[in-house]
Amino acid sequence: MSTNPPNVRPPTEAEIREAAAAHYIELTDEELAEFAAMIPETLAGYERIDAIPEPARERTHTDRDPGYRPDHEEDPLNAFVTNCRIEGASEGPLSGYDVAIKDNVAVAGVEMTCGSKLFEGYVPRHDATIVTRLLDAGATITGKTNMEDMAFSGSGELSATGAVLNPRSRDHIAGGSSSGSAAAVVSGDADVAIGGDQGGSIRIPAAWSGCVGHKPTHGLVPYTGVVGLGHSFDHVGPIATTVADCARTLDVLAGKDPLDPRQGAVTLPEEGYETALDRTPDEVTVGVVSEGFGHETSEPGVNETVRDALSAFEAQDATIEDVSIPVHTDGMPIWNAIVTEEFAALVRSEGVGHYGNGFYDTAFADFFAKSRRTRANDYLSTVKLTLILGEYLSEHYHGHYYAKAKNLRRSLIGAYDEAFDEVDVLAMPTTPQTAHERRDDLTRPEAIERALNMLTNTAPFDVSGHPGLSVPCGTADGLPVGLMFVGARGADATVLGAGAAFEEHTDRGLK
């Protein structure tokens, strides 16, 4: 019987030299011969790895509808990749809720494309942890929502299946990367939708499409079974038309999952998030961050609408005061340096990463590994650019800028935390501008610029891990404007309470 494992062949001598060279090792002929002789015996243990079945992941709701791709008549906003119907428990806090799932969240038996050509045909075997929790809570999953290609854009126009139209104005785009999730909620095709957020991708489409989006504290909601961009800044959370529905959904989603390596200790409020919504304006102190205004891409109408909204909140007895956090303007370059190299490293590790304890989706890793080696030309331009830069910076600057950005992240966190000694929440425009006008004639540089030019206020809180909530606060030139409340890490109840008080006691929302 051969000692070689059936699925791992020993490397040739040329492959041994190639692997050594990747680590700048120059092998002597003697070393090469010795290693070539030793490696088959070392690999023999992998035969046993192949033979042992992986631990089963229980699926609590087994009836699965693989769904279908809706046509334009059924889905005029292009909000969905797949329409399906998977019914959860007969009772629960989300009984009667139709929930749409961003298409980078695994729903077993339903194709998951991540908005990209690279993943077409991939059908997960396991539910994401949050999908199990939604179904156990009585939700009905009604579809997988469209998204920016591999979640690497904030505009809403760079999905492999085309732009997602803004539900408030079809001459504009919805915002991304959770573009279809926001469009589905506003159009009434879902009561709640799940979005992901690495640079603002829940809050941006919520602001541009005129709904509520909550990015939870990092690690509060388990990311197991969701395709990510980087373990230290991956977030997943709810999008809905009201703060109350976001809070009710967060009560279902939040909590410890031993399978998620992103989570540390998770502390939940004793009475839940929905019960924290009984705050009145006079119980809320808001710090308006001066550095959240006046960006290069800021539109005067957005700034005016947000300040008017905060004045209206103050008129209802909220305490509003100006605060200055100079390092906030450094948040975007800190975010960029972390994301660029961390994402490139995650791709090199076949999209599943290393070092963390928890669930590793071997089927996804196998699919992505093959796809990226045969279809890399299909990557979105923003993905190509980021991978090139990440590889260059890692190779030529040896991780220096990634490491320094991670150190600077602590200063960013500290500056925000210091502000929370004086105020309950921070406030600023969610995005500096309203939704981009739909265009079909973009050059590649224009598409990349439009994909990233709205992140200045949202991205810093992805690397800092603070919770952020975007609520509609009015319009500018007829388009929705989002007001973002940010709280201390772990203070999601405070953020949701402030948002609910604003929503209930001011007439600044969208009908």
What tokens appear for 106 in the block? Answer: 């695994």
Catalytic residue, chosen from 201, 371, 394, 470, is: 201
Let me know if 155 is a catalytic residue. Answer: no
With CA atoms as reference, report the closest residue to 342 among 406, 409, 411.
Answer: 406
C-alpha span between 118 and 123 (Å, rounded): 13
* 406 neighbors 338 (Cβ within 8 angstroms): yes
Tell me the two tokens of residue 461: 């809180």
- CB 87 within 8 Å of CB 63: yes
Per annotation, catalytic residue among 177, 181, 209, 232: 177
Q: What is the DSSP string of 238-290?
A: EEESSHHHHHHHHHHH-S--TT-TT-------TT-SGGGG---GGG-EEEEEG
Phi, psi (rounded to 5 degrees) for 467: -70, 145
Q: Letter for the amino acid at 64?
A: R
Q: Is 177 a catalytic residue?
A: yes
Q: Tokens 């998977």 label which residue? A: 86
How big, in percent rounded to 5, are the helix, strand and coil portions of the chain?
40, 15, 45
SS3 (DSSP) at 165: strand
Q: Are 374 and 289 in contact (CB under 8 A)?
A: no
Q: Cα dihedral sign for 329, 331, 336, 337?
A: positive
CA dihedral sign, ordered 69, 74, 80, 85: negative
The yes-or-no answer on residue 404 being catalytic is no
Choose the catalytic residue: 102, 178, 181, 371: 102
Q: Which of the residues are catalytic?
A: 102, 177, 201
